[in-house]
RNA sequence: GGCCCCAUGGUCAAGCGGUUAAGACAUCACCCUUUCACGGUGGAGACAUGGGUUCGAUUCCCGUUGGGGUCACCA
């Protein structure tokens, strides 16, 4: 009985690994092309940090003429949620980040390196596990969960490093015969990696983002195949990223401390290790403490939040890119109208420490993004959002022709309006264009004086006036009612008049819109049209 | 607790031994302006701390403090 017999006993049907090595040929890409992936588990909604990773991966691949693929890591079937995969795919779609390769729906995929869903790759992992057993680099472990727990407690009591390693790894020293007997007796087992590492030796590694890091070698005999026959993350990572010919593993930095293990796994399996890029997570300030954005506590942790709020995906991506490469901001200023795809993203220029999430800045970007859109685009996107989240707004927007005029106010000129940062603000922003004010709060000129202004203005109002004539008429009205024609005049001798043309404008503005702060009143009146303007002004009488 | 990573204004961040220590968001003032938004100009605001190394440290080294990560048959 030797390792080979043992391997055959455990995985009698597994194919030799040469089969898979043949099947998944090295990719023929140009020098320097980055092949990378987004590899989430379908265990919950997509986290903003996940989107961040995906964006970074996609940008890195795109920049180098590489491949960005989506692999679903569903090896923990207990934690899997319903529609998990669909959720991931739809989230990527919402942000226009479809992968080049990999899963494209819950059941479909594209690409030559699949399956891209780990639960469908069971036999591949078993092949490689068998191979490792043949080499004597992996072994079946018969310890029960309770036994392992017991070992851990002993270690803790004795204040020594916990884990299944060295002398504590009971099963690693069983003879092949003993192992075979136990298996034949039907004893339950899992497969462990036989680590050749030593904790007192250091390993140096250069992470693409974090730079040089030094760790003790891994000496843990970690589980590679679980009781359900599926691999653990570590083993699946090594097998998949080797077979899928991944060049760069871009993942959250909580994995940094597993690098020694992963490198060792690649080494022992005879694979060439990929480069690692560990991304710092996006944090949140919680009462003075930095912590990761939490799925439970922070609504903005879920990417669905941005969709619900109507924050343009474009804005979210730009904000994220801002965090990823600080040069992006300058690039954007120099190239206000270019697509972000043209930005020269640099993986190795990413920050080593975690950034605090800044909603205010995101919204500021949202404003800029929306201000650059045409009225038509603003209409389409608001409508799309309204259909899903705001029926009232949807109804308001029904009349497209009118809505386009509303959205066209002060848009498309040199200094477009910048007052909408997300679609959920649209209704509040335009509602006065759809209904007459219900209450009025005039500022300086009140009561009878306000009525007089309106009365006088109605006498001269003409919907066909150009802007200059229009404003001159307001000045005339001001004069007629005893206010200063020009603000400057007034400021020089404020005691001479009870108010100025600006105050008169305010009366009209409030009478027509119910607000003191609005975009250009001339444009508003034009869009509302003669009848509506007159009817609203007459309400004051 | 062991191991690892990190530390520049409120926030995101340039910086890579000699700088008046950029820029963006936020904030304040002023200007523009019929209001608001925009835009413009300007202001306030930072190298956690203690030791080294050096002619000279924000920058290099060590300690301290603080923050974060990780120690599963979860990923």
According to CATH, the superfamily of the domain at A32-116+280-372 is: HUPs (3.40.50.620)
Q: Is the CB of A354 under 7 A from strand B?
A: yes
Pick out the nucleotide with least CA–C1' distance to A161.
B2
A287 touches strand B (CB under 7 A): no
CB A239 within 8 A of CB A262: no
Å between CA of A356 and C1' of B12:
8
Which residue has the least CA–C1' distance to nucleotide B7? A353
**Model pLDDT, residue A447:** 80
pLDDT number for residue A304? 93
Please report the ipTM that was assigned to this predicted complex. Answer: 0.93
* Amino acid A439: pLDDT: 84
Residues of CATH 3.40.50.620 domain(s) within chain A?
Answer: 3-15+122-279, 32-116+280-372
What is the spatial distance, in angstroms and rounded to an integer, between the CA atom of A353 and the C1' atom of B7? Answer: 9
- Supply angle C-alpha A21, A271, A5, rounded to 5: 70
DSSP class per residue in A269-331? HTPPPPEEEEEPPPEEEETTEEEE--TTT-GGGBHHHHHHHT--HHHHHHHHHHHH-THHHHH
The CATH code belonging to domain A447-538 is 1.10.10.350
Please report, rounded to whole angstroms, the spatial distance between the CA atom of protein residue A322 and the C1' atom of nucleotide B68.
21
Which nucleotide is closest to A358, CA to C1'?
B11
User: Tens-of-pLDDT digits for all 541 residues of chain A?
Assistant: 899 999 999 999 999 999 999 999 999 999 999 999 999 999 989 999 999 999 999 999 999 999 999 999 999 999 999 999 999 999 999 999 999 999 999 999 999 998 999 999 999 999 999 999 999 999 999 999 999 999 999 998 888 999 999 999 999 999 999 999 999 999 999 999 999 999 999 999 999 999 999 999 999 999 999 999 999 999 999 999 999 999 999 999 999 999 999 999 999 999 999 999 999 989 888 777 788 888 778 899 999 999 999 999 999 999 999 999 989 998 998 898 899 999 999 999 998 888 999 999 999 999 999 999 999 999 999 999 999 999 999 999 999 999 999 999 999 777 889 999 999 999 999 999 999 888 888 878 878 888 889 999 999 999 999 999 999 999 999 988 889 888 888 888 888 888 899 999 999 999 999 999 999 999 999 999 999 999 998 887 7
Q: How far is the CA of A306 from the C1' of B23 (A)?
A: 27
Contact flag, residue A39 CB and nucleic strand B, below 7 A? yes
CB < 7 A to strand B: residues 379-398, chain A: none
Q: Which residues of A273-301 are buried (b: 16+ CB within 10 A; e: fewer)?
A: bbebbbbbbbbbeeeeeeebbeeeebebb
Q: What is the 3-state secondary structure (H, E, C) of A292-308?
A: ECCCCCCHHHEHHHHHH
Quick check: A411 and A374 in contact, CB under 8 A? yes
What local confidence, expressed as pLDDT, does residue A192 receive?
97
- Strand B at less than 7 A from CB of A411: no
First to last CA, chain A: 105
CA distance A238 to A112: 18
Q: Closest nucleotide to A278's CA, by C1' atom?
A: B5
Q: What is the pLDDT of residue A488?
A: 84
A 129-148 residues, CB < 7 A, strand B: 143-145, 148
pLDDT for the residue A289? 75
pLDDT of A209 reads 94
User: What confidence score (pLDDT) does residue A219 get?
Assistant: 95
* pLDDT value, residue A495: 83
The partner residues of A307 in beta bridges, in order of sequence, read none
Nucleotide nearest to A323 (CA to C1'): B12
Residue extent(s) of CATH 1.10.10.350 domains in chain A: 447-538
Fold of A3-15+122-279: Rossmann fold (3.40.50)
CA angle centred on A358, ends A354 and A360, rounded to 5°? 170
Structure tokens at A145: 């969960």
Report how far apart, in Å, the C-alpha atoms of A536 and of each of A350, A408, A436, A440 are.
56, 22, 6, 12
E strand map for A81-201? 101-103, 109-110, 138-141, 190-193
A41 CA: nearest nucleotide by C1': B75
* pTM exceeds 0.80, yes or no: yes
CB count within 10 Å of CB A314 equals 20
The pLDDT score that the predictor gives to residue A226 is 95
Beta strands in A361-461 (DSSP E): none
Cβ-proximal residues to A363 (8 Å cutoff; 6+ apart), any chain: A311, A315, A421, A422
Nucleotide nearest to A361 (CA to C1'): B25
């Amino acid at each position: 009985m030797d390792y080979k017999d043992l391997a055959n006993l455990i995985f009698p049907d597994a194919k030799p690994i040469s089969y898979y090595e043949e099947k998944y040929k090295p990719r023929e890409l140009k020098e320097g092309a980055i092949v990378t992936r987004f590899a989430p588990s379908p265990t919950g909604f997509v986290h903003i940090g996940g989107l961040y990773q995906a964006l970074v991966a996609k940008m890195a691949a795109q920049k180098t003429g590489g491949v960005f693929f989506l692999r679903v890591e569903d090896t923990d079937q207990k934690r899997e949620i319903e529609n998990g995969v669909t959720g991931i795919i739809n989230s990527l779609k919402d942000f226009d980040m479809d992968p080049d390769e990999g899963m494209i729906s819950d059941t479909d995929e594209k690409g030559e390196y699949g399956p891209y869903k780990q639960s469908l790759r069971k036999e591949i992992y078993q092949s490689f596990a068998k191979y490792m057993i043949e080499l004597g680099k992996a072994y079946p472990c018969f310890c029960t969960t309770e036994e392992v727990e017991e070992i851990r407690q002993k270690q803790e009591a004795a204040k020594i490093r916990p884990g299944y390693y060295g002398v504590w790894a009971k099963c690693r020293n069983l003879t092949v015969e003993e192992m075979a007997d136990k298996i034949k007796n039907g004893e339950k087992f899992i497969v462990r990696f036989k680590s050749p590492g030593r904790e007192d030796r250091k390993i140096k590694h250069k992470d693409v983002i974090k730079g040089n890091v030094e760790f003790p070698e891994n000496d843990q005999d970690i589980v590679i195949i679980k009781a359900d026959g599926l691999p653990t993350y570590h083993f699946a990572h090594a097998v998949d990223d080797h077979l899928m010919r991944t060049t760069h593993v871009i993942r959250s930095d909580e994995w940094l401390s597993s690098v020694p293990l992963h490198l060792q796994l690649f080494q022992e399996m005879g694979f060439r290790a990929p480069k690692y890029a560990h991304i710092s997570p996006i944090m949140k300030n919680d009462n003075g403490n930095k912590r990761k954005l939490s799925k439970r506590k922070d609504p903005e942790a879920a990417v669905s939040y941005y969709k619900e709020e109507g924050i343009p995906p474009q804005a979210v991506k730009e904000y994220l890119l801002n965090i990823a490469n600080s040069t992006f901001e300058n690039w954007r200023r120099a190239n206000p109208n270019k697509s972000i795809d043209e930005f020269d993203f640099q993986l190795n220029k990413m920050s080593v420490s975690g950034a605090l999430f800044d909603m205010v800045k995101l919204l500021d970007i949202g404003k800029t993004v929306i201000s650059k859109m045409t009225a038509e685009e603003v209409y389409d996107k608001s409508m799309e959002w309204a259909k899903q989240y705001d029926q009232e707004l949807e109804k308001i927007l029904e009349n497209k022709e009118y809505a386009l005029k509303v959205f066209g106010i002060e848009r498309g000129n040199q200094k477009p309006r910048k007052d909408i940062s997300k679609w959920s603000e649209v209704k509040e922003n335009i509602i006065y264009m759809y209904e007459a004010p219900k209450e009025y709060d005039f500022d300086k000129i009140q009561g009878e004086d306000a009525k007089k202004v309106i009365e006088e203005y109605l006498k001269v109002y003409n919907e066909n006036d150009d802007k200059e004539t229009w404003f001159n008429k307001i000045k005339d009205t001001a004069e007629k009612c005893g206010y200063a024609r020009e603000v400057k005049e007034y400021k020089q001798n404020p005691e001479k008049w009870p108010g100025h043309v600006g105050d008169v404008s305010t009366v009209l503005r409030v009478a027509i819109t119910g607000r003191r702060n609005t975009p250009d009143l001339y444009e508003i009146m034009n869009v509302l049209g003669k009848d509506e303007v007159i009817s609203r002004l007459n309400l004051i009488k």
